[in-house]
Amino acid sequence: MDEIEYVWSVLGGDAALTARVARAARPEVLEARLPVRALASACVGVCALAAAELAARRAALGGVPAVRVDDGAVAAAFTSERHLRIGGREPVSFAPLSRLWRTADGWVRTHANYPHHRARLLAALGLARDTEDARAVDAVGSLLAGLPARSVEETVYAAGGAAVALRTPEEWAASEQGRAVAGRPLVEGGVLDASPARTFAPVPPSAGALLPAAGLRVLDLTRVIAGPVATRTLALLGADVLRVDPPGLPELPDQHVDTGFGKRSATLDLTCDQAAFEELLGAADVVVIGYRPGSLDRFGLSPRALAARRPGLVVARLSAWGAYGPWAGRRGFDSLVQVGTGIAALEGTADRPGALPAQALDHGTGYLLAAGVLRALTEQSRHGGSRYVEVALARTAAWLSAGPAPDGASGAGRPHGVGGPSTMGTGSGARRVRAAGEAGGPGDAGDAGGPGASPWLRERESPLGRLRYALPPVRFEGGPTDWERAPGPWGADAARWV
């Protein structure tokens, strides 16, 4: 079964529509031992198809517009943080303490990009939080070299930090969390109530670009990459996306710029501004949540609680490890999931773990989540019901890592691998191993002739200075090709709908 056909079947789409998707393959991009290029193109392809399907329904077109997926555009988007320039400045991707470390019995990966995660890592290891970076790297390296990897994992997690011990694919598959993840669909979803069918205002096909999400309000409660990629995509398609963050937990500035296209950004303290949030919720069509499962339930933000207060809502949630199993409440990031699920072992050597050529779990899961939201909106217009969509980085990792499925096999609920005989291998087995967190080169990012010559990059002015950025890869006939709005400063907008 083709990758797009598989994912489209998981999303509940009409199988005949996959014939509307054409792919421009570029074997030189996103090289890896695992079929990253196939995963990336499939995630973008189904997202574009879901957008085209909804556009056709809203504009009363005679058929679903054709979709074209170009591996070059996809590769540039999946490595967007490497292409970003802000006033000519190259952003910082990984902090000094976000890295792989040798331990007494293997390897452990830490994530300390955020100041609070850095502080918790140092505290867990008995080091002062104000330790200067160079000294901290030396001190942490010396300490971890004498400790077992899984002991470090548990100690740092217990302190509220983020660390994961390296596992082989076999070790992950045998773990309780690995078994829980393997038993779930790639994209989960369902109906929460019997709300009436959604009625869309028509989108005239002659009104410029077809914007399937025009007029929809999306409340964006996400951070890091996967969730913001999903909401950035919905903004591209015409949605009014308002990202809301707690004021005491600021986002990394460069990361905010990379994933902030098309959106507005506000802060809101749910512990004392619940009424303001309820006002936003009362006019929202979609809520996207990217915090750890259960961490916001005390604010009434579970899917059923939200739908009870706002019937007809679509609630989309994502997590690192899944909303099930013993790791459901654990913090996680793409780099940590690669290490924990065996991907880093597969991409490495006997001497050192490796990494994928992009944060493909984050980006791929983001496009899957956006596709799930778009399909939920289409189904709402036919059958009604408040709906939920759920994805997890670890589930995307399982799809990438597993072997190919038999032709014609059903996709729902089974561990399907990306690719097959034509896509599984890339011929790159002898390539230099890329360490976890290491940036790839121009070939990884899809640059034809270098960054300045790439057809997938663009420059524009913004409130933050002149930006160079990767164009969106989600394309369909008559649809948008760029975001209308450039990102502005984090938290600078009012917490209200336009």
**Is 444 noted as a catalytic residue in this protein?**
no
Burial class (CB in 10 A: 0-12, 13-18, 19+), 487: buried
> 24 φ, ψ to 5°?
-95, 105
How many CB atoms are closer than 10 A to CB 27? 12
* DSSP H or E stretch at residue 423: none
Q: Are 405 and 425 in contact (CB under 8 A)?
A: no
Beta-bridge mates of residue 24? 70
| H-helix segments, 226-302 | 226-236, 253-259, 274-282
Could you give the CA distance from residue 19 to residue 4 in angstroms, rounded to a whole number? Answer: 10
d(CA 147, CA 150): 9
Residues 6+ away with beta carbon under 8 Å from 119: 129
Instruction: Report which of 1, 79, 20 is spatially closest to residue 434, judged by C-alpha positions.
Output: 79
Token match 């999303």: residue? 11
Q: How far apart are CA 202 and CA 204, in angstroms?
A: 6
- The tokens of 183 are what? 């038993």
Angle at 437 between CA 39 and CA 229, to 5 degrees: 50
From 2, 245, 362, 447, active-site residue? 362
Active-site positions read 362
